[in-house]
Amino acid sequence: MNKPIRRVSVFCLLLIMALLLRTNWIQGVQADSYANSPYNDRVKYDRYAYPRGNIIVSGQPVTSSAFVNGYRYKYKTAWTDGAMYAPVTGYSSQSFGSNQLEQLEDPILSGTDDRLFFRNTLDMLTGKQQQGGDVVTTINAKAQKAAFDGLGDKKGAAVAIDPRTGAILALVSTPSYDPSSIAGTADSDSAAWKSLNADPNQPMLNRALRQTYPPGSTFKLVTAATAFETGKFQNIDDPTDTPQVYTLPGTNTQLNNDNPDEQCTNATLKDALAISCNTVFGKIGAELGGQKLLAQAQKFGFNSTVDTPIRSAPSVFPTNSSPDGTAMDAIGQHNTAATPLQMAMVASAIADNGKLMQPYLVDEERSANSTTISKHTEHQMGQPISAATAQKLQQMMVDVVQNGTGRKAQINGVEVGGKTGTAQHGQDNSGLPFAWFVSYAKVGDSAPVAVAVVVEDGAASSNEISGGSIAAPIAKSIMQAVIGQ
């Protein structure tokens, strides 16, 4: 072989080797990035080339795959009671992607999860159509409906948790939307998407997990917990040495009680919570100081996100308030803000004798033939308060429902503890107050449910809005649905 031909041969060999290296690099290293690229439409088409798995609630699917036999898409996701379950499932759209469980559990639902490899291979060899796996949620269908019906046309949210396990039993946000309306590629889907995103009421906002509100008087539970945990008070009947009108420290601003006829002067902790004395808990908060309140709030989960697996917005307890601001923070105003999930977690920890379990939405992942791929393992987040403190707070919350502002949450034959809240907001408190109620129900020695409800627009005028009149009946119906009454 002469020299020029030899050089050409070596060059061609190098080209072949470079091509082989590049091919192996793409297949072995970059395959996942190409497969998951948002620009790879083939992956999106394949996702809807066969039936998608379902999201299960109380043993029944709330999603399904409709055969449409389109040019690019063979199937389209549909929902049963879509608006009621949208805060749980999210949407799966051929045009606009997905979110919430539809996104987070997509590998199982679409059948692409590595754990389904052998199942998919067997189906391919036997000629069976590929199908995604199912996701079994913790949602209690009756509790979800009670929360959704209770909120009705109001703007707000509700969360119910099993304090013993952390299982989320209800997760509702209103106003809501039907994910089926944006599932496809038709002009109507695009029009629905534009309308939903332009709606000032934000129906696609998950208020239960992603919206924070001033928690108002429901935060007095955290302030009371701090008072017991730090030893400032020992018993629920300890007097508080509080004037009827309290002047915020370092200012001439007076803090009043919502009902001036209620006698909060030197009230005991139990009585102060029952009639929701701002002066008592504002003064306690100022005397405790911001750092002690902050430490206790963070034990309950404030200033951290929570993955359910849908990630919540972090609830906020401020780190740098002045003494007068701390007094207002302690009654759930000023710069304190909480998601409904967070306040359900507070009630849950109190109900379960101080133990706070990790909230979760997914109980099982299954293959298309119902084989369990994974099963949730319960996890304790922490012990924000002692059992002794929790039991004191339980007594105080029961008194709120029996003799105080939470009477509309009473359930015959069931121990119900609760706390109302009417939270001011807006410039100079110009907005309509938010109505809150947090509670738990105990059957025997066990508490199977803790609830938080917030309503943004419960009435036309401020004097008609209170947590006890608007939010408590909704919480009652959710608790009744869980305990079977």
The sign of the CA dihedral 264, 270, 276, 280 is positive
**Residues designated catalytic:** 217
pLDDT at 463 over 90: no
Q: What is the DSSP letter of 130?
A: P
Weakest-pLDDT range from 256-260, 323-327, 371-375, 406-410: 256-260
The pair of structure tokens assigned to 351 is 């109900």
Which is it for strands 134-137 and 362-366: parallel, antiparallel or unpaired?
antiparallel
Spatial separation of the C-alpha atoms in residues 142 and 159, rounded to whole Å = 13
pLDDT at position 467: 78
Spatial separation of the C-alpha atoms in residues 76 and 47, rounded to whole Å = 10
Q: Each residue of 370-411: pLDDT tens digit?
A: 899 999 999 999 999 999 999 999 999 999 999 999 999 999
Report helix, strand or coil for 335.
Answer: coil
Q: Which whole number is the average pLDDT over 432-457?
A: 94
Spatial separation of the C-alpha atoms in residues 73 and 369, rounded to whole Å = 24
Band (pLDDT 50/70/90 cuts) for residue 461 is: very low
Terminal alpha carbon distance of the chain: 94
CB 470: neighbour CB atoms within 10 A? 27
| Alpha helices (H) along 199-268 | 207-210, 220-229
Q: Which residue has the higher pLDDT, 122 or 84?
A: 84
Weakest-pLDDT range from 207-216, 252-261, 283-292, 440-449: 252-261
Report helix, strand or coil for 312.
Answer: coil
The pair of structure tokens assigned to 104 is 């987070």
Query: Is 276 within 8 Å of 401 (Cβ atoms)?
Result: no
Domains and CATH numbers, the chain: 209-361+382-483 (3.40.710.10)
The pair of structure tokens assigned to 143 is 């509790």
Closest of 97, 85, 83 to residue 56, by C-alpha: 85
Band (pLDDT 50/70/90 cuts) for residue 76 is: very high
Q: Which residue has the higher pLDDT, 258 or 211?
A: 211
Query: Is 445 within 8 Å of 241 (Cβ atoms)?
Result: no
